[in-house]
Structure 1
Amino acid sequence: MRHRTLALALVLVTGIAAIPADPAAAAHVRPWQSYVLGPESRLVQPVRVEGRGTVRVHGQAATLTTTAGRTPASVVLDFGQDVAGTPYLDVSKVSGSVTLQLVTGEARQFLRRPAATTTAVAATAGARQVTLASVANLEVGNAITIGGQVRVIAGFDPAAVTVDLDRPLSADVPAGAAVTSSPGAPASDEAPGLAGVGGPDTLTVTAPGRVSGGFHGGFRFVLLTLTGPGTISLSGAGVDFQAYRATPRDYRGWFLSSDDQLNRMWYAGAYTVQLNMKPAGLNGLPDERIYDGAKRDRSIWTGDLLVQGPTIINTLGDVGARYLKSSLEALFATQRADGALPGSPDFAKGRSPQGFPLFYSNNYSGYGARAAIDYYRYTGDRDYIVSRLPDLRRELAYNDSFLTAGNLVVSDDRDYWQATQTGAVTKYSIDYYILLREFAWLERTVGSAALAAEHDAKAEAIKTAVNARLWNPALGAYGQSTDHPDVLVEDANALALQYGFVPAARQASVLRALKTLWTPYGAILGPGLQDPTGHTIEPFGNGMETAGRFAVDDTAGAFALMRRTWGPMVDKKHPLYTGGLWEFKNSEGGVNRTTASLAHGWAAAPTVQLTQQVLGVSPDGPGYRTWSVQPRPGRLSWAQGVVPTAYGDIDARWTSARDKFTLRLSAPGSTSGTVAVPADRNDIVLVDGRGTRPAISNGYARFNLPGGAHTVSVLRR
């Protein structure tokens, strides 16, 4: 009977081999190149131009005329997605000398802000001029309400803080009376005090020709306002793109699947990090850097690098590695004498081009070390990591100072959502466990085996302590800390799943508890927990949860949370769409402040996880000298992609149907790895056409393979 079954399997595998190796060849499937968001040309033109006031728009050409006492003429240039660089205008005709105000924004809703102020002194009936506490966001031609009386702004004097009205007041207005104006004056949503770039540009135009503004780090919209009387004709406008402009030719890795929305997430994450990449020489800084956000803070942040590092190397290969290494060098250059690495080595460049090191949190110090270890894991750059090993050991010693005799971490620290947690904190303890495991891997590879063993032993003691003291049976999950054992938090429980803290018998309970934190827009941090600015949903933390769900094979849950959190971000009809992924959300799925970053590196978790968990390719040894391939298909019918490595490309593609699963893998000949494919004990597993009896556990057949081309087939019975 067994011979007959194998014979049947060989007949069936012939059918499997007939499946096209490249499903994208089917006419109804978009090629991966079509998802790439980087502009083809350095000079990028708007996709839409809309005017207000006396404006004539013809395609990308426009004529603006402003008349004294009326609404100033303005146009909004919409680039369809975030861009970065220097806006420019091609002027074909101008009457005399005119002044244009140029502001940029990622979200159109923040391009104009209503004014809200008060009267500074009392005004009497019949007055046509009123003194205010502020004239910020006022614009000639706006309606203004003063003490309940509606007038139109005819003019104002910023120095004297006075406003001229179109007609006299009909009643007295006391000092301190409310004053409001809508729709408000042009206003940028940039934060130049942090970023060192951006803010409104004032352009004086006296003759035809090209006029350029200053550098702006990340924006979808440009609002141009002809602030004073006159007429100007524009024959065109655009942006000189000055982030890293990656076209399909520049991608060294890619991903494609049977799910269009997931594909859009992967490429949005890639584009987000490209917008965050500062080329050498820009803004007076000679080196290449990976900033946290395109618009804000435009600083290197260690927590963001944990997501950005794998993203940038998996997508751009050597270029990404170069940017990551340069960013790490800026980090190590500001390491403190006690070993601490800053959360950001170059924060608030509004004070100087170089910024200053911000020692934001002890946890972020450990993130910096992990980012450096990740660089080695993905690149195999042994010389670099050996040169930095003493610095990394000093940082580890600093983090170790917060470990108590009870093997838990106590640190009045802020971490990524900017609120202090006290007591022995579950997440901080798990984070230190992760850091120790990373160091153990590093020491075994380039350092001391004895130190590696010490780190592993200390990590195990932390895991034991967390399970003994921080598990809360009433929650069915881990509590926030010893001070707050009854508070359910997303991040700690997500990391506990991802890094094997949760015994198998408790996994379902933790998954259920985490799901109570879900909203239609993603998972909240936890009951009562939020950033001081009001955001409650962190893509950084949601990425921890999707990783945790993948780790325990809750692929359906991981996909469902991805769709809630990142689905709106990749929907071109969403009013906050930028082509990038957002820093955070509030409880209604929007953002709470104008400076919210809508292209933020720490949100790129889907790009990393779709490559490593869905396509299934991740590094084990440095530079992928050894690798693992473990697809988690969920309900997808196929996925394929390429991962660049130090030894050459790894090409993986799989198809999944009710009765069969097929993985085709090509890896560099000088490498080797472990393959795990979905299977149970009743299935037939063939490797390169030969029947095999692999070890099967937790729903996967596992075996080792050398580099080269392989086909693995699972026939489901």
Structure 2
Amino acid sequence: MATVGLLTAVTPVLAATPGQAFQPDARGLDTSAWKSYVLGPSTPDVHAVRAEGRGDVDHPQSPLNSHGPATTLTTVAGGTPASVLLDFGKEVGGTPYLDLTRVTGSPTLTLVTAEARQYIRTPASTTVSAAVPSGATQIPLTSAANLETGNTITFTAPGTTPVTRTITAFDTTARTVTVKPALNADLPAGATVTSSPGAPSSDESRGLAGVGGPDTFQPTAPGRLTGGFHGGFRFALLTLSSPGSVSLSSLGVNFQAFRATPADYQGWFLSSDDQLNRMWYSGAYTLQMNLKAPGLNGLPDARIYDGAKRDRSIWTGDLLVQIPTLLTSLGNAGAPYVKSSLDTLLATQRADGAFPGSPDFSKRTNPAGSPLFYSNNYSGYGARAFVDYFRYTGDKAYITAALPALRKELAYNDSFLDAGNLVVSNDRDYWQATQTGEVTKYSIDYYIVLREMAWLERTAGTPALADGYDAKADAIKTAVMSKLWNPTLGAYGQSSTKPDVVVEDANALALQYGFVPAGQEARILAALKTLWTPYGAIMGPGLQDPTGHTIEPFGNGMETAGRFTTGDTTGALDLMRRTWGPMVDQRNPLYTGAFWEFKNSTGTVNRATASLAHGWAASPSVQLTEQLLGVKPVGAGYQTWSIAPNPGTVRSAAGTVPTAYGTIKTQWTNDPHSGRFTLTVQAPANTSGTITVPVGRGSVVTVNGRDSGPRVKSAGDAVTLNVSGGTYQITVGRRGGS
């Protein structure tokens, strides 16, 4: 059975009257099972799920549940510092605490956190600063950073066998390390030095986040010690770094992100595919980890940050994914976070109309941050974020007040349109690489802003302005298709200066927004597939961001949306599994329960500051709701809506979507072999919309138990119904069959 994603491509439009009750055909799908996928902790007092000790540690497992004998760490001079590594199993955020029951000597405790275990210790990486004779135990180094007593240290000189010793002491001022046993051969200057496992370190970036870094305690008596706020981490390493002994009965975290239990979800998703379910809830949890509660870190307002750990700033590009994900899952509980983030954009808008890419980026001297006017394209993303808020909430009073600022931003973006109706901007956009000439993606992006603003003006502003926006958008579309399409590639080139470079983002948006020359969809889909790797799609041949990452989940989300839109559900889900499947695999060393900012060509990350809970990567959540389940807003606040499932080979799905008028409930089952498809919809009163179901040759459609009409012809592969709010049970089967 073929399916399509474009509502405009369907065949007969039927009228239908609502039924009386919501009686879904579960076909084995226990709809209450969605609650088991929720990742938020059940209480604000969060404890680790695994622990291990290093050095002299008694009962390292006790902090997991605060039961049993106390955990005791003992460090002696010249010995390995005692430490406990705690694994919380997934991303958490808040203030760590220790409950000490005994303190001996004058101990110093340090606590560091990290999203990935591989970054919670930093090995030494330096060189020998002067030649050292055989028999020596003290060795001069260029740097004594990241050394820890008890670690192994390895010296490697060209043409010689590496020499490994144990560190017994080091002096950061003199930059020397003392080892045992003594060297048994001369060691030349310049020999490289590495250590294992390295010294405790944090993967947080304090200059950007304004929080975090190591916590240092010097306890003198039993009691509770509370660390500073840490925005996002999975691992915590507690080290007794100086001689002494401490015993503790508990080590936990006061959780301070948005703690959503099943009772807090106003929307949910469930399907017959476990991996897709885990993606939906990982996206929702990523957004919860990105939310800053009012009053936290000295800021009175609520905000949506881009990442739990980094940057902990509002970013307009990220909002394009975060806003629909947040409002689809948490509904009006998430709306205040959106509004206050948009308010921060309004407060920092420049006189020329530009919105900052991040209104609160740098927090080195001011917790509220300062604006970063990062990208002209990001300014347009900011305008679209306001439109999205209105589309999902129907908050007309808010958007009406913001309209003058949005019109100013539109005029700013318009200044980059050249005489040929294409956008010329020496700009960086989301993957931080300058693109020059007439840029395909920037031109399509401006087209999108114009179409969004036209819809907004007709819905809540001045309809007369919309015609001008549409005319300009039409001119851009014509120019892009006539000047930037590369018939040899069967795809759009990156720009007028790089016409032979296939880029993922521009071609994905072309699919999503109808920029494809007649009959060329398959060629673009094939061209995009040349960019696929086992870990997701690269940005384009030879393209990477400044840190070396080639796979951007933000861009991959554009492609999955484009594939859904053109009916390639199989390709969309395949790319989802490649890109986000490893992120929801608990066996992956980088698993956090949240989605990652980016990947390199091997499917991992290559720097400690990479964010492993980043909102712009959460597109699977909203796309599984809007494309697979099929529920989308059309009018503001879902006053009108579209329900058009793209099932592919998925057997069943169900979910709810919160709206300004009540909850939309829907559930479907799909048998690709028999051609049977059943859909149950319950939509709120005072709303209306369209319901589209896939059909095949010889299909019969029944609505609320009644035959919709004659046999559906093979000329179309979907049937659409225009309906008002109510309950509908739609069955697609074959004549004479089930």
- SS of 1:535's equivalent? coil
Map residues 90-489 of structure 1 onto 2, 5 A cutoff: 90-121=99-130, 123=132, 128-146=137-155, 148=157, 149-166=163-180, 169=183, 173=187, 175-489=189-503
Equivalent residue number for residue 609 of structure 1? 623
Q: 1:26 to 1:344 in 2, by over 3 A?
A: closer
Q: Which has the higher contact order (CA 8 A, sep 6+)?
A: 2
- Structure 1 residue 395: Cα displacement: 0.3
Q: 2-side partners of 1:152 and 1:712: how far apart?
A: 72
2:33 equivalent to 1:31:
yes
Larger displacement relative to structure 2 (65-74 or 116-125): 116-125
Per-residue CA deviation, residues 60-86 of structure 1 (Å, 9 max, x unaligned), is 242222222222111110111000001
Per-residue CA deviation, residues 130-174 of structure 1 (Å, 9 max, x unaligned), is 443322211112222356554432222333333334455556655
Equivalent residue number for residue 12 of structure 1? none
Q: Which one-letter code corresponds to 2:310 in the other structure? A: R
2:540 equivalent to 1:540:
no
Q: Which one-letter code corresponds to 2:574 in the other structure? A: A
Q: 1-side partners of 2:482 and 2:516: how far apart?
A: 12
2:51 equivalent to 1:49:
yes
Per-residue CA deviation, residues 147-204 of structure 1 (Å, 9 max, x unaligned), is 6554432222333333334455556655544332222111111111111111111121
- SS of 1:540's equivalent? helix
Larger displacement relative to structure 2 (343-352 or 404-413): 343-352
Preserved CA contact (<8 Å) 2:361 2:370: yes
Q: 2-side partners of 1:362 and 1:329: how far apart?
A: 19
Equivalent residue number for residue 4 of structure 1? none
- SS of 1:560's equivalent? helix
- Structure 1 residue 713: Cα displacement: 2.0
Preserved CA contact (<8 Å) 2:25 2:668: no
Equivalent residue number for residue 703 of structure 1? 721
Preserved CA contact (<8 Å) 1:76 1:223: yes
Equivalent residue number for residue 6 of structure 1? none
Q: 1-side partners of 2:501 and 2:29: how far apart?
A: 50
Q: 1:568 to 1:704 in 2, by over 3 A?
A: same
Q: 1-side partners of 2:734 and 2:409: how far apart?
A: 50
- SS of 1:194's equivalent? helix
Preserved CA contact (<8 Å) 1:197 1:350: no
Q: 2-side partners of 1:559 and 1:58: how far apart?
A: 42
Q: 1-side partners of 2:344 and 2:489: how far apart?
A: 42
- SS of 2:198's equivalent? strand
Map residues 642-661 of structure 1 onto 2, 5 A cutoff: 642-657=656-671, 658-661=674-677
- SS of 2:470's equivalent? helix
Preserved CA contact (<8 Å) 1:48 1:60: no
TM-score between the two structures when normalised by the length of structure 2: 0.92
- Structure 1 residue 477: Cα displacement: 0.7
Equivalent residue number for residue 519 of structure 1? 533
Equivalent residue number for residue 5 of structure 1? none
Q: 1-side partners of 2:679 and 2:184: how far apart?
A: 80
- SS of 1:356's equivalent? coil
Q: 2-side partners of 1:34 and 1:611: how far apart?
A: 18
Per-residue CA deviation, residues 8-49 of structure 1 (Å, 9 max, x unaligned), is xxxxxxxx999972638767x771111000000000011011
- SS of 2:727's equivalent? strand
1:688 pairs with 704, 712, 717, which one?
704
Preserved CA contact (<8 Å) 1:98 1:204: yes
Structure 1 runs (4+) deviating above 6 angstroms are 16-20, 694-697
For structure 1, the residue ranges without an aligned partner over 5 or more in a row are 1-15
Preserved CA contact (<8 Å) 2:392 2:638: yes
Identity %: 67
Q: 1-side partners of 2:344 and 2:20: how far apart?
A: 50
Larger displacement relative to structure 2 (85-94 or 248-257): 85-94
- SS of 2:197's equivalent? strand
Preserved CA contact (<8 Å) 2:25 2:678: no
2:711 equivalent to 1:663:
no
Preserved CA contact (<8 Å) 2:106 2:243: no
- RMSD over aligned Cα, in angstroms? 2.1
Preserved CA contact (<8 Å) 2:380 2:413: yes
- SS of 2:555's equivalent? helix
- SS of 1:286's equivalent? coil
Q: 1-side partners of 2:716 and 2:418: how far apart?
A: 35
Preserved CA contact (<8 Å) 1:279 1:288: yes
Q: 1-side partners of 2:144 and 2:401: how far apart?
A: 56
Equivalent residue number for residue 94 of structure 2? 85
Q: Which one-letter code corresponds to 1:139 in the other structure? A: E
Q: 2-side partners of 1:53 and 1:455: how far apart?
A: 68
- SS of 1:86's equivalent? strand
Q: Which one-letter code corresponds to 1:63 in the other structure? A: T
Per-residue CA deviation, residues 387-408 of structure 1 (Å, 9 max, x unaligned), is 1101000000000111111111
Q: 2-side partners of 1:395 and 1:143: how far apart?
A: 58
Q: 1:310 to 1:366 in 2, by over 3 A?
A: same
Per-residue CA deviation, residues 563-601 of structure 1 (Å, 9 max, x unaligned), is 111111111111111000111111111101111111100
- Structure 1 residue 504: Cα displacement: 4.4
Q: Which one-letter code corresponds to 1:575 in the other structure? A: P
Q: Which one-letter code corresponds to 2:107 in the other structure? A: V
Larger displacement relative to structure 2 (582-591 or 66-75): 66-75
Q: 1:698 to 1:93 in 2, by over 3 A?
A: farther
Q: 1-side partners of 2:303 and 2:524: how far apart?
A: 38
Preserved CA contact (<8 Å) 2:25 2:680: no
Q: 1:254 to 1:19 in 2, by over 3 A?
A: closer
- Structure 1 residue 435: Cα displacement: 0.6
- Structure 1 residue 715: Cα displacement: 2.0
Equivalent residue number for residue 10 of structure 1? none
Equivalent residue number for residue 634 of structure 1? 648
For structure 2, the residue ranges without an aligned partner over 5 or more in a row are 1-18, 64-70, 158-162
Q: 2-side partners of 1:167 and 1:656: how far apart?
A: 69
Preserved CA contact (<8 Å) 1:277 1:291: yes
Preserved CA contact (<8 Å) 1:679 1:716: no
Preserved CA contact (<8 Å) 1:24 1:31: no
Q: Which one-letter code corresponds to 1:376 in the other structure? A: F
- SS of 1:579's equivalent? coil
Equivalent residue number for residue 76 of structure 1? 85
Q: 2-side partners of 1:146 and 1:569: how far apart?
A: 36
Q: Which one-letter code corresponds to 1:360 in the other structure? A: Y
Q: 2-side partners of 1:541 and 1:294: how far apart?
A: 20
Q: 1-side partners of 2:584 and 2:56: how far apart?
A: 35
Equivalent residue number for residue 544 of structure 2? 530
